[in-house]
Structure formats: structure tokens, C-alpha cells
Amino acid sequence: MSIRLITIAFSHYCEKARWALDRAGIAYVEDAHLPLFSYLPLVRAGAKRTAPALVTGDGPVVVDSTDILHWCDGKGDAEPLFPPGDAAVAELEDDFDRRLGPATRRLAYFHLLGDRRATLDVMGKHGPAWERVVGKAAWRLAVIAIRRGLRVDAAGAERSRTVIDQTFAVVGERLADGRRYLGGDRLTAADLTFASLAAPIVLPPGYADYLPRPDLVPPAFQAIADHYRRTPAGELVLRAYDER
Ligand SMILES: N[C@@H](CCC(=O)N[C@@H](CS)C(=O)NCC(=O)O)C(=O)O
């Protein structure tokens, strides 16, 4: 039985899982869905409500992106993402997962969802054709549901920017001694998680398949990406994607 990664294709947590699987050289099939449509396959697989989930065929379904990274460390060929005994990498990874991920998602949605063409472009690229047809027809309802569910509003976007600025500052300070990666000279779970969870606001070319076409990115959204790309932390995101 092939390994199946259930995703919301453009979700940055799903990107994190894809990246870890690719890096570890693990063959898998992506079962991509649109938001809300992902619930049924997740529940059927015995996962939680959130994507990603990894159906391995030889054990329980792995239901959280960080657990998928650990699973890859146990199964893949690459050097471990969590170097044994390195508590700093695990702490950074956990902080990015709990604070940065929700913040970048909210800020990106805040700038995306007001623009119908950009939103439909992102939602129209992946997943079963019937989901895209229904999603397009019901896009206004989907936008309302996402805005309510994730508290996507001006005040939330402002709070998220503060979290992002704090996190980018912490990352920048760690890189200030000239190290290439957060844990030292090679990519670890901290870098992979930071780069994938920051991708929706840094817009690295390697994530383009999950972003609006460049000419559709709303100007205020592009200005945010331009700002963060110029920071040392933003440069780490771009470099990690270049080397992906
Ligand atoms: N901590 C989880 C977070 C995953 C997550 O928030 N996934 C979102 C997509 S970005 C989701 O599936 N949301 C659907 C929902 O919450 O109902 C992980 O790392 O896997």
C-alpha cells in the first residue's frame, strides 16, 4: 500500500510535511483537497480535523506536521531533522509551529481573501475537479467561513504582524554570528519549519505553485513579502527554498 499524504494543497503546514518527505526520499502520493473538503478524507483515514495527515499503511495515521517530520527521521535516508540531543532545534520548531504558522496564515488570508481573482487562482490549482467547481461557486461562503474560523480581520492581522516581527527578529539574532542555518551548518527541523511556515508571507519562488500568479498578488500583499524578504530571516527562507 502506498503512503498517502492528505493535504490542503496550499497549506503551509502541508508544505512542511511534503518538504520533509521529499528530503527523506520517501515515495508518497498526495491526496490534495480544498479547505473544508479536507474533513471527510481526514476523518475517513482516522486523523484529526487538520491537514496534513500521513497514512503510512504500516501503523497508525500520523496526524500532525511535526510528528510527520519525526516519522521521516525514523524512516528516511537523510540526516535527521531533529539532531539527537539538540533541544534548541526542537524548541524553535515548536515555537514556529504554535505561533508563526497561525500568524502567517492569518496575515496572508487577510490580504488574499479580499481579492476574488487571486483567491480563486490559489484555490483553483489543486484538488479534485469537483471540489474546485463547488469551491468556485461557493467561494463567498468559503471566504466567510475562513474569516470567521481563523479570525481574519484587521485587528487579527495586526496582532499576527507583531508575532511575525518578533519571530523574524529572533531568527535574525540567531543568524547574526554568520551561521547558515538556525542549528548551525546544516538544515534542521527548525529551518524547514521556519521556511515553510513563513512561505505564505515571503512568497519564495519555490512555493509559487501554491500562490497567486505573480500579476495577481495584491500590491499590499507583495509589499509585505518585499519587506520580509529583505530581512536576514527572510533571506534564510529564500535560501532554504533555493536549496530545497
Ligand atoms: N499543528 C497542526 C496544524 C495544522 C493546521 O492548522 N492545518 C490547517 C491547514 S493550514 C487545517 O487543516 N485547518 C482545518 C481546520 O482547522 O478545520 C500541524 O502542524 O499539523
Contacts for 131-135: CB closer than 8 Å, 24+ residues apart? 131/33, 131/34, 131/37, 132/34, 134/37, 135/34, 135/37
Confidence of residue 57 (pLDDT cuts 50, 70, 90): confident
Cis? peptide before 52, omega within 30° of 0: yes
Question: In whole angstroms, what separates CA 1 from the centre of its chain?
Answer: 27
Nearest CA owner, ligand 1 atom 11: 50
Q: Is 223 helix (H, G, I), strand (E, B) or coil?
A: helix
Domain co-membership, 114 together with 209: yes
Mean pLDDT value of segment 159-164: 98
Q: Which of 7, 13, 42 to mutate to test the pocket of ligand 1 (most atoms within 8 A of CB)?
A: 13
Q: Is 92 inside a domain boundary?
A: yes
pLDDT in the model for residue 76 = 80
Whether residue 168 contacts residue 68, with contact meaning beta carbons closer than 8 Å, is answered with no
Q: Are residues 71 and 92 in the same domain?
A: no
The type of residue at 61 is V
User: Taking 90 as the threshold, does the pLDDT of residue 87 lie above it?
Assistant: yes
Residue 218, Cα to own-chain centre: how many angstroms? 20
- pLDDT at residue 77, rounded to an integer: 84
Cell reading at 167: 519571530
Q: Are residues 166 and 51 in the same domain?
A: no
What's the chain's average pLDDT?
Answer: 96
- Which residue's CA is the closest to the ligand 1 atom numbered 10? 11
25 shares a domain with 115: no
Q: Does the pLDDT of residue 1 top 90, yes or no? A: no
Number of domains present in the structure of the chain: 2
Report the pLDDT value the prediction gives residue 217, as an integer from 0 to 100.
Answer: 96
Does 11 sit in the ligand 1 pocket, CB within 6 Å?
yes
Q: Which residues contact 51 (CB under 8 A, 6 or more apart)?
A: 6, 7, 8, 11, 13, 14, 33, 38, 42
**What CATH number corresponds to the domain at position 117?**
1.20.1050
| pLDDT at 177 > cutoff 80 | yes
Q: How many CA atoms lie within 13 A of 190 on its CB side?
A: 24
Ligand 1 proximity of 108 Cβ (cutoff 6 Å) = no
In which band, very low, low, confident or very high, does the pLDDT at 173 lie, cut at 50, 70 and 90?
A: very high
Q: What is the pLDDT of residue 58?
A: 87
Classified as helix, coil or strand, 226 is helix
Q: Which is nearest to 81 in space by CA: 209, 220, 183?
A: 183
Q: Which domain holds residue 120?
A: 87-242
149 with 220, same domain: the answer is yes
Alpha carbon of 57 to those of 30, 50, 54, 89, 113: distances in Å? 14, 19, 9, 29, 37
In this structure, the chain runs to a length of: 244
Radius of gyration of the chain (CA): 17
Contact 65, 13 (CB under 8 A): yes
Global confidence as pTM = 0.96
